[in-house]
Amino acid sequence: MSPRFTAHVDTFARDHLPPPDEWPELRFDLPELRYPERLNCAAELLHGRPGDRPAFRTPDGGVWTYGELRGRVDRLAHLLTTDLGVVPGNRVLLRGPTTPWLAACWLAVLKAGAVAVTVLAQQRPHELATVCALAEVRHALCDVRSLDDLVKAEVPDLRIAVFGGDSRDDLLHRPAPDGPFDAVPTAADDVALIAFTSGTTGKPKGCAHFHRDVLAIADTFSRHILKPVADDVFAGSPPLGFTFGLGGLVVFPLRAGASALLLEQAHPSQLLAAIEEHRASVLFTAPTAYRAMLAEAEGHDLSSLRRCVSAGENLPAATWQAWHDRTGLRIINGIGATELLHIFISAADDAVRPGATGVPVPGWEARVQDADGVPVPDGQPGLLAVRGPVGCRYLADPRQRDYVRDGWNVTGDTYVRDPDGYFRYVARADDMIISAGYNIAGPEVEDALLRHPDVVEAAVVGRPDEARGQVVVAYTVLKEGAERDAEALRAFVKTELAPYKCPREIVFLDTLPRTATGKLQRFRLRTGAGTGDDQG
């Protein structure tokens, strides 16, 4: 850290970083990662682009040029500092559906030297109250349509400015100084944003990321794997409160001088229509959405797509193959983490291998190790450990010592490294099922189930069993009208996998429980929450 360069007047974020001896080792091996000591990432993303080039697009055909975006961001930054009293280092909550105005607010907060805390529009009052308490948030910019739950959170001393409404007090209608806003000269290692984990298994963790981190994810994964061009149109389903969406729909397109189509609603059918209508070329979404889009793709022109990125959960080989058969496109699989901001293992083009995640993205290192931190031989499963230009820094949280060990970020994923350096996902470390002495990876069984033509979604967990320790239980969603025949489905799995991996019980559901960001909530299945009663 370089405290002498900090521009933060409010030093809460820096003061609540882990002690230096608990940080992971950071690596800046690529020339493009050697940033100056003073750096404002919002200014870097906004400036140096032709003013008439499109930056953001809206579903109704509207376009914000880079010149218009800069002007609106500067106006918001003036309001933040002169009207709302925000000073560098203050945490500012951002809440609303995915729109250009929400993205502009995020950029304005960073340009003003404050710390962005972007939350999901779906989060409920108690969740919002927890986030605000952990980050000591006292300012919020909120889409008027997402205001009610934020008010109900009753955050002490929270000053809320709404945007998108008709009131004279609306942020977009308030008078503001004219002219450019000079970006606050933040340090490269001043905190730019605090991204909170979903908190589905406990108290959420705030992940502090620096201004240089925001650029580093673009200068590694986007630059070397995605390889965007200025004419690209980015689109996708992840919200901006999810770092997968923040990178894919704001940081990456702006860093490349490209544009992004920002969709308030991005269900599979809406994505298909938007890709066709707006000629999107780069798509970011989750494996579940790719599979759902396949069922509805007939009649849609997807020829504009040239890049399809999948993350958020494991991409089954069957989904990859089906998408390739339908579109001719090789999905770019990747693993990322909120703790590391974005994707750090991936592969594209001819380097893609169905069923494998890929290799470390340039600028990153990865290995597979045992519980004691000792690397395991190729072909043997173990814990994935990574390090690179971005690392985990929890906000005042003792769980930092669990995630960072001996300088490595230990992600909680079980992986196998092949002899040629490719990394293959096995399971989340807590998703390994041990039954009668056999180690069974739930995602492997899910992949087999998904190869059945009637299965739309599948989730596999272990259930305690007195005789076997655990037994394999599969939760499945079938195509509409398909017969719920558990024995036939079990027989199919036995043709795909060794018999000991076959589910002892199959439960049919109408939907699987997921978080607001689309991640499967296996813990709800383990505890029996969110399950149906059609079993076999």
Between 200 and 72, whose confidence is greater?
A: 72
Q: What is the mean pLDDT of the chain?
A: 92
Per residue in 368-392, pLDDT (tens digit) is 999 999 999 999 999 999 999 999 9
Dihedral sign for Cα 521, 208, 228, 221, please: negative
Distance in angstroms (rounded) separating the CA atoms of residues 185 and 19:
25
β-partners of residue 336 are 343
Name, in order, each residue with C-beta under 8 angstroms of 273's C-beta and a sequence gap of 6 or more. Answer: 300
Distance in angstroms (rounded) separating the CA atoms of residues 103 and 251:
10
Judge contact between 79 and 63, C-beta under 8 A: no
Write down the pLDDT at residue 516: 65
Place of tokens 């909170």: 196
Say yes or no to pLDDT of 200 above 50.
Answer: no
Domain boundaries, the chain: 3-417, 436-535
Q: Residue 64's CB: how many other CB atoms inside 10 A?
A: 22
Write down the pLDDT at residue 437: 62
Tokens representing 48 are: 């140096």
Write down the pLDDT at residue 348: 96
pTM of the model as a whole: 0.86
CATH code that applies to domain 436-535: 3.30.300.30
User: Three-state DSSP class for 231?
Assistant: coil
Write down the pLDDT at residue 370: 95
Residue 237 one-letter amino acid: S
Q: From residue 69, give the alpha-carbon distance in Å to each of 39, 65, 233, 241.
A: 20, 6, 16, 20
Per residue in 238-293, pLDDT (tens digit) is 999 989 999 999 999 999 999 999 999 999 999 999 999 999 999 999 888 898 89
- Which own/partner pairs from 376-379 qualify as long-range (CB within 8 Å, at least 24 positions apart)? 378/416, 378/417, 378/418, 378/419, 379/416, 379/417, 379/418, 379/419
Judge contact between 93 and 137, C-beta under 8 A: yes
CA 475 to chain centre: 25
Per-residue pLDDT band for 122 (boundaries 50, 70, 90) equals confident
Name, in order, each residue with C-beta under 8 angstroms of 67's C-beta and a sequence gap of 6 or more. Answer: 51, 52
Tokens representing 440 are: 């069974």
Distance in angstroms (rounded) separating the CA atoms of residues 223 and 216:
10
Judge contact between 128 and 155, C-beta under 8 A: yes
State mean pLDDT over 327-331: 96
Write down the pLDDT at residue 532: 53
Judge contact between 249 and 218, C-beta under 8 A: no
DSSP states of 148-172 = HHHHHT--TT-EEEEESSSSTTSTT
Per residue in 442-486, pLDDT (tens digit) is 888 898 899 999 999 999 998 888 777 788 999 999 999 999 999
Q: Give the helix, strand, coil percentages of the chain, each rounded to 5.
A: 30, 25, 45
Pairing of strands 469-478, 505-508: parallel
Top-ranked range on mean pLDDT: pick from 99-108, 306-315, 451-460: 99-108
Per-residue pLDDT band for 501 (boundaries 50, 70, 90) equals confident
Per-residue pLDDT band for 201 (boundaries 50, 70, 90) equals very low
Q: From residue 289, give the alpha-carbon distance in Å to each of 201, 349, 401, 471.
A: 24, 21, 35, 29
Per-residue pLDDT band for 134 (boundaries 50, 70, 90) equals very high
Distance in angstroms (rounded) separating the CA atoms of residues 261 and 280:
8
Distance in angstroms (rounded) separating the CA atoms of residues 373 and 367:
10
Rg (CA), the chain: 23
State mean pLDDT over 295-312: 94
DSSP states of 210-226 = EHHHHHHHIIIIIIIII
Per residue in 340-368, pLDDT (tens digit) is 999 999 999 999 999 899 999 999 999 99
Specify the range with the lowest mean pLDDT, choosing from 104-108, 231-235, 295-299. 295-299
Length of the chain: 536
Judge contact between 80 and 92, C-beta under 8 A: yes
At the top level of CATH, which class does the domain 3-417 belong to? Answer: alpha beta
Between 146 and 178, whose confidence is greater?
A: 146
Per residue in 395-452, pLDDT (tens digit) is 999 999 999 999 999 999 999 999 999 999 988 777 778 787 666 878 888 988 999 9
436-535: same fold as 3-417?
A: no
Tokens representing 20 are: 């230096």
Say yes or no to pLDDT of 531 above 60.
Answer: no
Say yes or no to pLDDT of 39 above 70.
Answer: yes
